[in-house]
Structure 1
């Protein structure tokens, strides 16, 4: 999928739509290729100029060109390698150097999931807190009469 214009599901927050968008996935791929080049630079590869070119072109995604490349190559990762290489002609030879398609695919998925959990966890904590407080409409006045497991939650979440 080379297109960048994603539309969210009707019950999805705009933030979560952004995290799981194709644009974010592909930007993460390009960022991963930059990090790969920076790691390879620590092995004394003379690629300072290429890295600077990659950094300055991280946001220059051409989804139309990528779609055309993908039709021709029938490989989404290689289509982006070629598009990024077109944006960074000096760096074209080091983009994806020594990596497999799984490098960008799997690592991007992990980064995207981590970012989604960063959005989800505070909301989940708020739901748990409201559920616990909802069990006791008197706002903790009857705390000693609760089940012993709920006492643990009151201690854990509210420090009482």
Structure 2
């Protein structure tokens, strides 16, 4: 049975009528037309659906939409401000860290959470923070370079 869900996404409060058990991923994509988070596996194993919940990277495929109402949700679309990309987004572009791009949502969201907590991570810390994100294209070295470049930009 559908109910009204109030949810704060990318700084705006939305009122959505949906089944309270619908995964947050579907609420974001289908109800709010936010397509940064992707469906990958549906069991929290690939990272394609990552969002920030109060600044922490979490998979949106397993969180009921109604449960997310207690969080501030940030999607990939919410990282840029006034049509200016976040330094992490810029660094991923500059380092050409994407090939197919399917994992990029999770990689960027996870990197954002990491850099909010650790301003100068080591390669090992970056690998650890991104381990929940699968990349089948093999751009891992460019992704690590992008995170390091973003850290340098943020530390200026």
**Do they fold alike, i.e. is TM over 0.5?**
no
Higher helix proportion (structure 1 or 2)? 1
Higher strand proportion (structure 1 or 2)? 2
TM-score class, shorter-chain normalisation, is under 0.3
TM-score by length of 1: 0.27
